[in-house]
Amino acid sequence: MTAEPLGLDAASGPAELPATEARSRWPELIDEVRDGGVVYLTRYGKRIAALVPADVAENYERIEDDYWARRAADAKASGGSPIPWGQAVAELESPPDADEAPSGLR
């Protein structure tokens, strides 16, 4: 069985198709992504998901992990004292008081 091409050339940018068509065109979508392409799935004309090559997704995860590790290191280096998670959530969910900043932000 041979998949029909998406009908897009590399110069026209990433492929885009309604999510409802993805199931019937799954083999060709996988081929497109395997070959380095990006496929956006849409619903009502809006992009709702993207199929990307695994190396792109893995790189994104690495970048995100590095970002949060830097944020954690910066917070630790700032010398502030940690607060319990429950207290942080309670402070973030409570209505703001104009006169007082949350304890983690003082």
pLDDT of 47? 97
Phi and psi at 37, nearest 5°, equal: -80, 170
Pair (60, 75) in one structural domain: yes
The pTM of the full predicted model, rounded to 2 decimals, is 0.61
Which residues lie closer than 8 Å to 40 by C-beta, 6 or more apart?
Answer: 14, 15, 16, 17, 47, 49, 50, 51
Task: Assess if residue 68 is contained within a domain.
Answer: yes
Q: Mean per-residue pLDDT for 59-69?
A: 96
The residue range of the domain holding 68 is: 55-94
46 and 14 share a domain?
yes
For residue 92, give both structure tokens.
């973030």
**Residues 46, 72 within the same domain:** no
What mean pLDDT is predicted for residues 90-98? 82
The CATH number covering residue 41 comes to 3.40.1620
Question: Picking from 37-41, 60-64, 77-81, 100-104, which range would have the lowest pLDDT averaged per residue?
Answer: 100-104
Statement to judge: residues 39 and 73 lie in one domain: no
pLDDT of residue 79: 85
Residue 103 within a domain: no
Count of domains for the chain = 2
In a domain, 81, yes or no: yes
**pLDDT given for residue 104 in this prediction:** 56
pLDDT for the residue numbered 80: 79
